[in-house]
Structure 1
């Protein structure tokens, strides 16, 4: 009984999905049919009747190609979890030059509006993905649309045949019902291979996107490295260096006062010793901020546990014992530190849980806090920087933070050493 109910539910869901595939696939052919109807209505004897039909076919196909492909990608991703990347070219930023003209990546224009309009049209006509979408609107009806229409045609045949008066008509209707119900759970599944085959970016386009992505990552890494060097320089200049200069002056003064005022000299030396201890503490904190010694000596898990003990939050850590490549361990450690710091400063959380595990292909880190939620990724914020840090290793960042909390962040970084 349970299997029968499961089959009935699968058939119903499959029938609805097949109908959705047919509807999306046939949008552009419906425009073509409307164009033919317009030409017939205009009059077969009119020598210009083909012109409006031709215009309707061209404009309708071009206007619907991208929405149809987006809907197809959305349905495939929702039903099968297969992500078909669109592969559209990203518009470069429109920048005003010192001459007053606006550069849009292709040409100079007098105004920002003209530059953006020119850029939009150039991308529209020069992007190979647009022509790939246009090709797909012609392929989809003959492949996915035709196969997905089998359950609908079977049910329609059953409705007509079973209502007939002859035995042959009823047999045909019964056969259509069996075919329609039997194909319903499977007919829509052709949408996935068709989308993957004809909507996925070409190898040349994927390579170009990868080159652009790596170029962006290299620029981000260069900027981050320069900012880190400036931070270290500033910390050394304002902290340890100033204290060491003061220490040298105190020792020089104590040396002069040693014979005339020993008590004052001893006081200066005590102050110098305290200053030396403070400088040493600052240097240790600076080294810890660059690369914690426990991370080098004992690995990521031990470093995270030590960090959790020093955190003002009540932090629990559940982790597999892993040793990864040092750059990946460093990225994961500072990512965890960033997330816990955000939970303290912005979310006003009281507890946090950190989970570190391997999934066979890399490391997965999950950080969840009981704060007020609402974490948003800004272009110049810490979460965006964390995403760029992980992207260097082809890592991903997923943030779930509804208003009122909790905030759940998942970091995933592939690693061949696991």
Structure 2
């Protein structure tokens, strides 16, 4: 991993708890490395919703055990196993989709056979609408983000193909470029073609080999499998969550509201119970797939790059505020002057972001690692805690890079991304403040 900024702090103060020396840098939080004074001064994270909270508890419960298994060398390669839990999850998912099919068939029968009454066709149309909402749907290519195909960016796709070979899978058919600090893979369309999403807010701040590690991690999800990403199990999870929210109680303003809440009480909590059960059956395998994807990141880009990537993920929470700050600063003036300021801000936006994130000192990364361990930080409610992923990535291997990202390749890929970078810089400056 490339060395980070080592700029000296402007002054030193005494820790009020243990009297150790504390470097002071106005850009970052003051904290004591000796006793952890003020290491996490931020407000507590907002309470997640009921479903997210249940998933986070499961994620933390499985995280430590799976991390220990990975550190001991368990499950370093191969597909996520088809164990009893996975088979049970698939069967439960089919039952959930079976309910949707029953709703659709019943709706059709009511519409076709119930024309003698005025009520049955209306009820049938309602059931058909409900089935349409609950049906499993393949992802689609977005219409509001740049989409690159092989002909648009041959060197980028060549890099992705090479990383895919290193981790034991094929490349992708399309790359969606977005402004945020994110990356993901999924399939789209009825043909289940592969799509990768690259967030420039993450891609642009990563050193070269960490970009390779990022691609290795995302393609590792294809290499190792993840039942929660499939249309059957993933669709069932979405359907159950939809049931739960559709059946949510309304504030009781009258007798009718209380009656409806009472009628929907049992179906609502049945849906919630099935959702928790399906989460329980799939989350361990999904987290194992995440750890294996981290192994793929290390194999493709090196262990050092995979560990560095975890640190960048911890710091990436600052990317959104940085982009909003750029947008607000450019829009404070109205009229022609404001338009000119926006145009100037669009130029070099991603370079400025990379420079700011590249200047984060090692001391701040250490603070973020300690905060992550305290809070059990994870990318979302289904990922293993990031500090455990980092620990496992550091313990594995060590792997040397199978794919290198040299200057020539970097320049070629940057040239292919230039139109998307310009379009998204314009969107960030003009829209992010809102």
Report the TM range for the smaller structure's normalisation: under 0.3
Structure with the bigger RCO (C-alpha within 8 Å, sep 6+) is 2
TM-score, normalised to structure 1, is 0.23
Larger Rg: 1
TM-score, normalised to structure 2, is 0.23
